Chain A
Amino acid sequence: MTTRTMQFRIYRYDPDKDERPYMQDISVEVDSTDRKLLDALTKLKAKDETIAYRRSCREGVCGSDAMNINGKNGLACLTELDSLKHPIVLKPLPGLPVIRDLVVDMTQFFKQYHSIKPYLVNNDPPPERERLQTPEEREELNGLYECILCACCSTSCPSFWWNPDKFVGPAGLLAAYRFLADTRDQATSERLDNLEDPYRLFRCHTIMNCVDVCPKGLNPTRAIGKIRDMMVARAV
């Protein structure tokens, strides 16, 4: 089996022993079956077990292993090793407090997600069977419900960096539109009221970093535009 060497520069910080963060140079041998960055990280961890990062499904659906890879946010499990320039520079997602190494504190990210009331609101007594929805109505949710909450988008957004406590951010706004677009949801005006604010929605300056980094190919900017349209429509 042919092996190749991967050179890494990894952000390291363990508050239990390090006074300040540093970049560690380290390399690892991988073989031909190691196709993704996560495969190399797994080998690296067998060599140095102190490197901390999150990972779970290793197939791009759980959203655990988001990190900053050669300057761009992405999922380690979906990033092709051979596409990366050496040394491969790995840093934690930008803009969130670092807990240790590549593990960030995502409290602020989830707080914003929770702030948009991410659940269906329908106050009618539930029918005995499913609520009906045409295939066309259901199609409106495509490109919205698939979000894996990895935070690649929000942590690549300058508006979120500056105002993580006030601006909902692309992931939260995508989720907000997912419910606004659902014909079964009855909380449209409350949802719009909740975002009618100089920061929560309107801090989006359509820089579109979110679209550029989303590992699922989703488009939060378009969803944000649709929410703005709904705001305008109800104002006139």
Chain B
Amino acid sequence: MSVPILKFDAVVVGAGGAGLRSAIQLSEAGLKTAVLSKVFPTRSHTVAAQGGVAASLGNSEEDHWRWHMYDTVKGSDWLGDQDSIEYMCKKAVEVVVDLEHYGMPFDRIDNGKIYQRPFGGHMSNFGEKPVRRACAAADRTGHAMLHAMYQRNVKANTQFFVEWMALDLILDAEGVVVGVSAMEMETGQIVIFHARAVIFATGGSGRIFAFSTNAFINTGDGLGMAARAGVPLEDMEFWQFHPTGVAGAGVLITEGVRGEGGILRNAKNERFMERYAPNAKDLASRDVVSRAMTTEIKEGRGCGPNKDYVLLDITQLEPEKIMKRLPGIREISIQFAGVDPIKAPIPVVPTAHYQMGGIPTSYDGRVVALGADGGNVVVPGFYAAGECACASVHGANRLGTNSLLDLLVFGKSAGDSALEDLKGGKAHRELPKDAADRARERIDAIDRRRGGVSVHEARQAIARAMQDHAGVFRFADLLHKGVAQILEVEKMVRNLEIKDKSLVWNTARVEALETENLIEVAKATMISAEARKESRGAHVRDDAPDTPEFPNGRNDKEWLKHSLWYREGNRVAYKPVRLKPLTVETVALKTRSY
């Protein structure tokens, strides 16, 4: 059966923050650009970001990009690449100002400038005290940002393919990316997008866990496609558990709540963060706070009938301040915790939130593979940005508000790099004859199978395996078992069956295809985590404890390196961390404390 081919200069997969930011660069430069998205762009998960986007504007107090850079390197537990981190922190002011010019409704301070609030791990003067760096639109920053960027794309006449699911990456015999196959959800038709540049901006994959702040759509589609095409996934063992998900519901409560003065309390009404992070307290880095909360609960100081959560208290704040700065949080708390935070504290637990790793890129948004000499080699025609990519700026732990910054800076740089590479208008490279085969075969197999496993069953098995074996604290024996278990679960995923055979808006088929992506992310996570025999950032294991030789269990001698998981053979390779920034001095290795 012949598959229709649509020809574009560039194809962007994903219409969240990173995809829309790339598309602005491409469309405004006049390139013929297609943006594919499983959902209408403003339904992408960037919409759920709350607290702010980091930029050292210095609107309320002195701030510098170098302080921001220091905080980000420290937050990453030195696993972040310092060239990328310098690039991001330096560009922050420019991309936030761009957003304002697009019309984003930032909150304002009295002199008319953008409002900024404190956030975890963001400090002034190289770690001294919290600084107001998070640029915010109330507690709806992601929503305001995503809509502003969608609107800018409407102005730029970007061509959207809404409710299209990308299926697989297309490479030619020389390893050049020449397009992507995709399915229109309304008709079930498969189409090839033939392009000279393919930009992945497919977001996160938090749905590998049973309890996650992530939307249903966050199924790691870009990671699955990259893995199937032979591209390795970097640093997948590092998952951020956000300290404050609503207990039971998983819905996110922004760290901005603590930025505005919120305090975490245990069953004894104690402000326990004072013991774990005497300086930054409730505004320590997310990994530190999540571990502290988990320890409190484990040691019996949790709240509620089952002592299984702690409380986030803002009752001491002025109600007017809550209504003005945190109106969305109040709404969420009433809706999902049944609590009005003006009157009573919110029950919260650490909840899977953000994937620090992803498709390896350099700071220019170009996807890079591992060369024979251990260096980076560009995968021609392929770019990635946002949560699906690993530039790597977050290293072993991301700071709050750096994700929205990441998607702006690297969305833009991926777009700019594509523009640069396409200059001179070279012809499209030829599509391989089997361009749509992989996608076609995947769909046919799912459609034809009888007596297989349901999508629901397979997804539950993935979520259970990940939740039980790769949580906030990690244990050598559990990781070992987890690897065996997830490889068993993979067999279920290879045996998926759907009852719904319709061509029209077949959500069962979409979810089956998503599950095939989730399993790649789950394997990458579990296998990379089992392999890394140290504690660093969000990856803390029982057999790598805090010792004088290895403070916090971190072992720089052996493990100051990035993991690269390959789907073929579940192999893990390593590459060095780039400790040399672009223009300034290296932020020297140090023990991390807040």
Contacts and interface: CB of A to CB of B under 8 A. Distances in A.
B43 A62 contact: yes
A30 B103 CA distance: 44
B215 A58 contact: yes
Given A56-B43, A60-B331, A182-B103, A35 B48 contact: no
A62 B505 contact: no
B262 interface: no
A141 B108 CA distance: 12
Contacts of B140: 61, 146
B154 A149 contact: no
Given A100-B502, A100-B504, A126-B101, A59 B332 contact: yes
Interface residues of B, number: 62
B43 A50 contact: no
B154 A138 contact: no
Nearest to B135: A130
B105 interface: yes
B106 interface: yes
B143 A61 contact: yes
Interface stretch (B109-117, B348-356, B400-408, B526-534): B109-117
Contacts of A54: 39
Interface string B87-115: 00000000011001111011111111110
B43 A63 contact: yes
A198 interface: no
B108 A133 contact: yes
Contacts of B43: 56-57, 62-64
Contact of A52 (B39, B216, B455, B505): B505
Nearest to A17: B502
A134 B506 CA distance: 49
A146 B103 CA distance: 14
A106 interface: yes
Contact of A56 (B107, B215, B505): B215
Interface stretch (A3-11, A112-120, A153-161, A202-210): A112-120
B151 A57 contact: no
B97 A145 contact: no
B500 interface: yes
Given A132-B112, A145-B105, A78 B335 contact: yes
Nearest to B328: A61
Contact of B455 (A49, A50, A122): A49
A55 interface: yes
A103 B507 CA distance: 11
Given A49-B508, A119-B152, A58 B105 contact: no
Contact of B217 (A56, A122, A130): A56
Interface string A56-99: 11111111100000000000001000000000000000000001
Contacts of A184: 103
Given A130-B114, A148-B42, A184-B103, A57 B498 contact: no
B125 interface: no
Contact of B251 (A59, A62, A106, A122): A59
A86 B14 CA distance: 39
A145 to B, nearest CB: 5
A145 B144 contact: yes
Interface in A168-200: 179, 182, 184-185
Interface in B447-466: 454-456
Nearest to A62: B43
B335 to A, nearest CB: 6
Contact of B39 (A64, A120, A132): A64
B100 A131 contact: yes
B30 interface: no
A210 B336 CA distance: 24
Given A49-B500, A61-B143, A138-B105, A130 B335 contact: no
B133 interface: no
A52 to B, nearest CB: 5
A33 interface: yes
A117 B103 CA distance: 13
Contact of B186 (A53, A99, A120, A148): A99
Nearest to A49: B508
A122 B507 CA distance: 42
B481 interface: no
B484 interface: no
A19 interface: no
B215 A62 contact: yes
A164 to B, nearest CB: 18
A82 to B, nearest CB: 11
> In this complex, which of B47, B137, B186 has the most chain A Cβ atoms within 10 angstroms of its Cβ?
B47
B42 A132 contact: no
A128 B98 CA distance: 9
Interface string B8-51: 00000000000000000000000000000001101111011000
Contacts of A110: 40
Nearest to A135: B108
B147 interface: yes
Contacts of B147: 145
B545 interface: no
A14 interface: yes
A64 B251 CA distance: 16
A184 B103 CA distance: 8
A141 B103 CA distance: 11
A15 interface: yes
B105 A49 contact: no
B48 A131 contact: no
B151 A118 contact: yes
B230 interface: no
Contacts of A137: 108
A182 B137 CA distance: 15
18 contacts: A16-B503, A16-B504, A50-B508, A52-B505, A57-B47, A58-B215, A58-B216, A62-B45, A62-B47, A100-B505, A114-B154, A129-B113, A130-B96, A130-B113, A132-B111, A138-B106, A146-B140, A149-B40
Closest 5 CB pairs of A and B: A120-B103, A132-B112, A119-B151, A62-B43, A49-B508
Given A14-B502, A129-B57, 16 more contacts: A45-B456, A45-B507, A49-B456, A49-B500, A56-B43, A58-B216, A59-B251, A60-B332, A62-B42, A62-B215, A64-B39, A114-B154, A130-B97, A131-B100, A133-B108, A184-B103
